[in-house]
Copies of this chain bind each other. A is one copy, B any other.
Amino acid sequence: MVVVIDKNATKQEVENIIETLYKHGFDVHKSTGVNQTVLGAIGVQPDFDTNTIRVLPGVAEVYRITEQYKLASRSFKKENSVIKIGEDIFLGDNEVVIIAGPCSIESEDQMFKLAESLTALGAVVLRGGAFKPRSSPYSFQGLGEDGLRIMRNACDAFGLKMVTEVMDVSQIDTILQYADILQVGARNMQNFTLLRELGKAAKPVLLKRGLSATTEELLMSAEYILSGGNMDVILCERGIRTFERSTRNTMDLSSIPVIHQKSHLPIIADPSHAVGIRDKVIPMARAAIAAGADGIMVEVHPDPNNAMSDGGQSLYPEQFAQLMKEVKIIIQAIGRGLSTPGLKKKVAHSIRN
């Protein structure tokens, strides 16, 4: 921690600051310049609240110099983490993983139809919600465990893996019986009780960035899961809230190279929730791949106009076919391959940043 002393601070104030640092277990290096005095507080206390020092009389500014996350950081682990999903999907290596499916699980018919067409087009993981976080209590809240059962059957019938959202600690056990990946939604990114419990789960967790969260906060939420013992965390950029109103959120694609630099964890992109409007999903999926995303997750529905939730941002199956066509070209252009478990494949050299 670096403590910058106010130019007008009295000698007494400076002494009090130093004494307070000592009391909190820090060693202190004092460096006095012509214009400014700076204290270096030495000692590893990742959870120390720097505000305690910031408010002392005579303090101009305080800077934390160690990251607040450890296990999630590149300095803890230099090589990319590759998350194994089932037997042969490796998220985070050179191959881009395609996740697709409806917002909500609605019926057997819907899920089997979709599973069939999405598999044929190249998706390898099916997404779909059984427990839905809806901003209105009067909106459709999901089919619950019935939905999970339907989805599992649809996945098994077509060799897809399954990702679905867990909203609360009480749902974890049930969802673990069905899903291959447990998703934490943007609104729960800082539901620390939930994150802590998922640290004990034996399956990968897909952690979505909160609506106004920084990449550092996203990594600190990942740290909750990692510190519980579950090292299989997949991050997801899904758009942040900004002033722009022509899209639901604003996709922060620079978070992809930023996360790749700060952390060893893989990051995928969800253009459907980021833009919220069907016809902007394809260009943003292309852009996400070009920026280095390790996978993309998109909403597709056999009949979007009659979807029970998020119909407006769901692609028609034929639009998903077009997306796959365009996305494959970009994947190849940046020297990566498409994850196609069960198939032999030859992969070019990656330019992932």
Q: Which residues of A are at the interface with B, using a C-beta cutoff of 8 A?
A: 2, 4, 6-8, 20, 23, 29, 31, 33-36, 38, 40, 42, 44, 46-47, 49-56, 60-61, 63, 65-66, 68-69, 74-75, 78, 131, 133-140, 167-171, 187-188, 190-196, 211-217, 220-221, 223-224, 227-228, 240-248, 250-258, 261-262, 274-280, 282-284, 286-292, 304-307, 309-313, 326, 329-330, 332-334, 351, 353
Once the chains are docked, how many angstroms separate the CA of A14 from the CA of B22?
A: 29
Closest chain B CB from A247 CB (angstroms): 5
Q: Determine the chain B residues whose CB is within 8 A of the CB of A306 once the complex forms.
A: 23
- The interface residues of chain B lying within 8 Å CB-to-CB of A53 are 312
When the two chains form their complex, are residues A135 and B190 in contact, meaning their CB atoms are under 8 A apart? Answer: yes
Chain B residue at minimal CB-CB distance from A171:
B193
Residues of B within 8 A of A216 (CB): 245-246
Listed residue (A216, A242, A287, A311) with the most chain B CB atoms within 10 angstroms of its CB: A287
- On chain B, the residues within 8 Å of A7 by CB distance are 75
A56 to B284, CA, bound (A): 19
CB contacts (< 8 Å) of A63 on chain B: these are 2, 61, 63
Interface centre among A46, A53, A278, A280 (most CB of B within 10 A): A280
B2 touches A38 (CB 8 A): yes
**Residue from B134, B220, B246 in contact with A215 in the complex, judged by beta carbons closer than 8 Å:** B246
A279 touches B55 (CB 8 A): yes
Q: Chain B residues with Cβ under 8 A from A275's Cβ? A: 254
B250–A190 CB distance below 8 A: no
